[in-house]
Structure 1
């Protein structure tokens, strides 16, 4: 029996653009269709996006609504409504024909003057497609709204990377690839096998931010492995390929799961970050009132800030002690995980960084690997 190929979908910018086109067409009194066609640019193909609703707010303003469909992907934005409010601007004070703004649920970039978290591909997509529907002398303002954006953002690591109050319109193309599907794991395994032929030490990076920070730390980019959420199977693959050392390099809100024995890090499958942090606080001897505070935190980053504030106010080093305990446990449990499946005598080290993109802690073995010439850029 053949397994069906995982189904791809579209990224959030595509649905935002479709909603904006639907709203603009409505203002132009173009008969509403159930779908909108748009050019994805990347890749160079057309997409037909269903329109949920469209209506005028007033003579010059209309609202279009689409629903996110990311395909066969474990994506928290599935079935999320995306709104686009399009206003025809009379007597515009600017030469720009199209102005794009983020409304409710679109994140703000705290490291970039609080600018809306609407990135280059999303802007390119909106400008290109909307311009084709505009009259030559017409100017519009487009406001993208994600009504559930604030709530959903609490379940992501956005805040760790400088985006607050909502989600990002992110991505470099319009296709949402099923990265959590088994076929993508096979791609990652093959990449790992190729690199294992060249290097005895590999650096596992959880996500794009881990990749970026690892390279900025002077690690040879050829030894970096992007794992997505497939840490467990990729660790076993590395063991099978006789990799001698593995450095885990990731955001603490992801890597902390390994200290609890969770080796598929997608939140849809397992969590427990808060409980793991509290357990290590209790192990080190943190007081009950602070443990209770940690337990009520919405994010691991919030817990880190509580510990740092405590250290600052009391002259203690709870943050270092607790995170050192976490890092050493991550190393040990990762070795144990690989040894469940095969004989493995290699070294495991870990590096955990925070929202400020600064390293919080490095395990003892992690320090040895991080300072080793075997992973440094030539």
Structure 2
């Protein structure tokens, strides 16, 4: 690996820091003199331990205990870096339905499609329950509240609203490890994976992240043909062209892949945006009326723009999205040829926040057949 890009450092996901704080607070709640500077957790996934520093710890006047940790996502371009997580632990009531009740406080987002339930997902709940249960005295119940003081402001800078989460961040993830997918050194590792797969298969599927990888399996795509690209779509497409790959199926969330229709081949929000502008340009290309174009341009998210189109004219929405995915194919193939002088067939399938396919290009239909499980 090029010495300019040393192996990127992994970090931990937000649920890990929330759990570490809860463990430290519970230990102090049980024994006031126990105020650990670090705690060791079982991450469950992967099956390994992690030692997490506790920045502050204090009993509160109401009898609860507050522990504060700070997020460390490793060598990632992550807006939650160093953000504080507060874990407040208190004894529960006798009528509490579960021994450990997990609640979302300020800065934890609300899931609008689940009756405003806190955006604390399964891995976070399992991790906290698993690590706190052995420390819970017999006959006692516990109430754990996770607070992200900066969560509401940070949430406004993400695409959470497109996935139905408002007023904060999610305790999201299926693993305790935050893999450095946006760090420059990760690109070299991703290229090595691509090289190995290109030697086996002429047709591959590029997925930006876990949503695409999971959906690919559900669609019947052969698992080993999947390549996780993170935000490095441009370099990975060029690498595929240089390796002589016959075709690449792009499978991703439309709010990310729409950038490629505008010639943006690094999809991290720190690098470039312009998604509503690109969607509005696609509306123009298929002859949408000016008021519709203006409404799409003014939408807060691409998902909101799509909803505007559907409300105005469902056939128009389909034409816009068909133009978008076909345009992505064209721009991607031209991008690869410009950098390699090699042809690469690219097809595009995009899904919405419910993981439903909303459009596929004409080339995607043929490529999809090539990557299905035999």
Instruction: Determine which of 253, 258, 271 is the counterpart of 1:251.
Output: 253
Task: Name the counterpart of 1:125.
Answer: 127
Q: Tell me if the contact between 2:54 and 2:68 (Cα under 8 Å) persists in the aligned partners.
A: no
Instruction: Please identify, of 157-166 and 353-362, the stretch whose mean Cα deviation from structure 2 is larger.
Output: 157-166
How far is 1:256 from its partner? Answer: 0.4
> For 2:143 and 2:192, how far apart are their aligned partners in 1?
46
> For 1:56 and 1:98, how far apart are their aligned partners in 2?
20
Instruction: Determine which of 241, 244, 248 is the counterpart of 2:243.
Output: 241
Task: Name the counterpart of 1:375.
Answer: 371
TM-score (norm 2): 0.89
> For 1:5 and 1:223, how far apart are their aligned partners in 2?
25
Task: Name the counterpart of 1:177.
Answer: 179
How far is 1:362 from its partner? Answer: 1.3
> For 2:59 and 2:294, how far apart are their aligned partners in 1?
48
Provide closer, same or farther for how the CA distance between residues 174 and 358 of structure 1 changes in structure 2, counting only shifts above 3 A.
closer
Provide closer, same or farther for how the CA distance between residues 161 and 209 of structure 1 changes in structure 2, counting only shifts above 3 A.
farther
> For 1:331 and 1:137, how far apart are their aligned partners in 2?
61
Instruction: Please identify, of 153-162 and 182-191, the stretch whose mean Cα deviation from structure 2 is larger.
Output: 153-162
Provide closer, same or farther for how the CA distance between residues 118 and 274 of structure 1 changes in structure 2, counting only shifts above 3 A.
same
TM-score (norm 1): 0.88
1:6 aligns with 2:8: yes
How far is 1:12 from its partner? Answer: 0.6
Q: Tell me if the contact between 1:27 and 1:56 (Cα under 8 Å) persists in the aligned partners.
A: no
Q: Secondary structure at the match of 1:171?
A: coil
Task: Name the counterpart of 1:51.
Answer: 55
Unaligned runs of 5+ in 1: none
Q: How does 1:1-378 map to 2 (within 5 A)?
A: 2-3=3-4, 4-28=6-30, 30-31=32-33, 33=35, 35-41=37-43, 42-52=46-56, 54-59=58-63, 61-90=64-93, 92-94=94-96, 96-109=98-111, 115-161=117-163, 163-311=165-313, 317-370=315-368, 372=369, 374-378=370-374
> For 1:57 and 1:71, how far apart are their aligned partners in 2?
35
Unaligned runs of 5+ in 2: none
How far is 1:127 from its partner? Answer: 2.3
> For 2:319 and 2:61, how far apart are their aligned partners in 1?
56
Count matched residues. Answer: 370
How far is 1:62 from its partner? Answer: 3.0
> For 1:200 and 1:35, how far apart are their aligned partners in 2?
52
> For 1:52 and 1:292, how far apart are their aligned partners in 2?
49
> For 2:130 and 2:354, how far apart are their aligned partners in 1?
34
